[in-house]
Structure formats: C-alpha cells, structure tokens
Amino acid sequence: MRVFSDNRPHMVNWFWRKKPAESEKPVEQPTAPPVTAEPVLSDIPFIPPTPAPAAPEAAAPSLPPEPATLAEAAGNDDPDYAHAAPAASAGKIGWRERLKGSSFAKSLGGLFSRNPKLDESLLEEIETALLTADVGIKATTTLVEDLRTRMNRREFADATALLAALREDLIAMLRPVAKPLQIDRNARPFVIVTIGVNGVGKTTTIGKLARRFSQDGHQIMLAAGDTFRAAAVAQLQAWGERNGVHVVAQGQDADAAAVAFDAYSSAKARGSSILIADTAGRLHTQGGLMDELGKIVRVLGKHGAGIPHEVLMVIDGTTGQNAISQLRAFNAKVPVTGLVVTKLDGTAKGGVVFALAREFGIPIRYAGIGERPEDLRIFDPKAFVDALLPESLGQ
C-alpha cells in the first residue's frame, strides 16, 4: 500500500512534467530533421540574392494584368494572342491551311475526290453541297445552270473538266468584289467607320487594321465610338498603346456621334492620315441603335463632302445566310462601301462569301483567316477558291 501510494504522486508528477517537455521539444532539439528545414529555408534569401529578381521577370509574361510585358514577350503582339496558333503561312498555302476544314471544302472536296460519273446526278450533288455550304439559292442556281448548259453541250470530257469549270465560275463570281481598300493620301484624315452586329470582331479588326496601316507608314488615330461597353473603350486603348496610336475616347455612355466628330477635329489638327471610328455592335433589328448609326455618319459628314470615305462592315463568316439580312438592313441605313469577313478559319462554311458577292456586289476588302494580326488578309479570290476547292482534287 505504501509503495502504491508512494508511486501515485510520482505518476502525477510525471504527467505534469510531460507537458512542459512537449512544449520545450522544438527548443531542445534545434538540429532535429523536422526543425532543420526552418533554418535552411530562412537562409535561402541570403545565399542567392540575385535569382530573386530574375524569377518575377520570367513569370511576368504569363500574367494577364500586365499587357506591356506580355507584348514584349510575344514580339510586340497583342497579349490576347500570346497562346494563339502561329500566323498562317504566306500566300495561297496559308489560305489552304486555314480553310481546308470548312464544310464547303469537305463536301465538294469529298465529291470530286472519288472521281464521280459525269451526269445529272453529279449536278444535283453539287447543288446540294453548295446550298449546304451557305452559297445561297441565287448564287447556287447561277452556278449549277451554267454547268448544266455546258454539260449538255458536251464541253466536259469528264468530272475533272467540270471541276475546272466550277472553279472558274466561282472565281469569276468573286473577282468583281475583290477590290482592296485604297487610301486617298490627299484626304487627311481618310475616315473609316466600322459597323456590324455584336460579336463579329469590329474592335479587334480595327486594331489589326491600325497595325497594318501603321506599318505602311500612315499616321493613325482611333475613335472609341463603342460607348455602350466600357470594355470596348479599354480594348481599343490597349490596341492604341501597342501600336503607338492615339485614341480619342470620352468614356462609357458618351454620345458616339460627338466622339466621332471630336476625333475628326483632333486627327485634322494632328495631321493624321487615317481616322478609324469604332461603333457599338447592334442587331440589325434594333431600330433605335440603327438610327444612331445614321447619326454618326451624318455628323461626320458635316466636316466635308464624301466623309466618311469608307463605311466598312465587319461580318462573321460563321453566321451563314443571316449575314445577308444583316448587310441588307445596315446598307439601308448607311451606304456600306466595303466588307471584312472574319472567322473563316473556324466553323465557317465559306459559302456566304459567294452569296454576299452575288447579292450585293459590295467590295470585300479583307478576310480573317486566323487570330493573329497578320491573319487579316487582303481578299484574294483565287487563293480563296483554291483553298476551298483545290484543283488537285480532280487529278
């Protein structure tokens, strides 16, 4: 009993000492493995003092909030395209690389690659393929009837000869509208107003055009007329900074016509050779916004006859036949003098270009075949048709 009672205080005393021992453990064993990591990590800043600033420089280009650093890392390119595919190859090769995946190329390409028999059934398949590719009823009827007439006259020895004739007809349909934009250097500034529905890429197209014109030796000024979206103003200002171009802006909800008017006065005073005015994207069914577009053009016209010199409508190549109704509505409000067809490298069927040419005859100035600024190409009908329907299919 004495031993038991004698040990009991010792056990209580032992537990009391256990807690301080646990709390003192990190202090008593500074060299133990779990603790040695702390002094080693704390020594790191003192051992290599120079790598510390180098690490942020390497990481900076991947940070979206720093466009200037990103632009330098991408060769003064738009940081939005830092991870985009490289620019398409020059010449016809680039067109073919980007348009070979369109439904137009796949349907007609697949038709002629199997060396079909020259008969009425082939014409029907061609007609179906053209309509499916958004070529439109009018353009398709014109193309197929011409082929049928020539086939009945026995002008084609085989399907390869018919393919060559179809290629010629497609190029002939586009040749009248393949007119590059000519900048009048005596009109200082030469005024371009860009229009179009929401999401077609107007602001991006303006940035690419500003870069192209700057490289051609022009002094550019941009007008941030899309006052409905604060992001549009910021985006245009970012393009201006990257290209060394002055941007006239008055903030969100400002009067777009006033912005355009002031921008012209500023461009005139600065001696700018080209003024490109952005406008808010609007659906062609929105009467009020369409009326405002007419107001912008009228206000610019107060600066002189013939101003603006170009009304450039940007059309999304993926919209298909809806592009026809869009252009018809816009052209009724303001005289559209040129077109830019974008996103032809994506899911676009490609045929809408022929429908636009056949329906309106408005010059197609540029075509977008990629995301890079270099991918905004001057429209080339031969390269376009060759990309959709290569001559080699019949060989």
Query: What letter does residue 271 receive in the DSSP assignment?
Result: T
Per-residue pLDDT, 252: 76
Chunked mean pLDDT (size 10), the chain, 395 residues: 46 44 46 44 43 40 33 42 71 84 77 82 92 91 96 92 94 96 94 93 92 94 87 87 90 86 95 94 70 91 93 92 92 95 80 94 95 92 91 66
**And the tokens for 279?**
């406008």
Residue 208, pLDDT score: 94
pLDDT at 312: 97
The structure tokens listed for 198 are: 């929401």
pLDDT of amino acid 230: 74
Q: How far apart are CA 28 and CA 39, in angstroms?
A: 15
Within the chain, what is the greatest distance between any pair of CA atoms? 130
Give the model's pLDDT for residue 285: 60
36 vs 26, 29, 103, 139, CA distance in Å?
10, 9, 65, 80
Residues 367 and 344: beta-carbon distance below 8 Å: yes
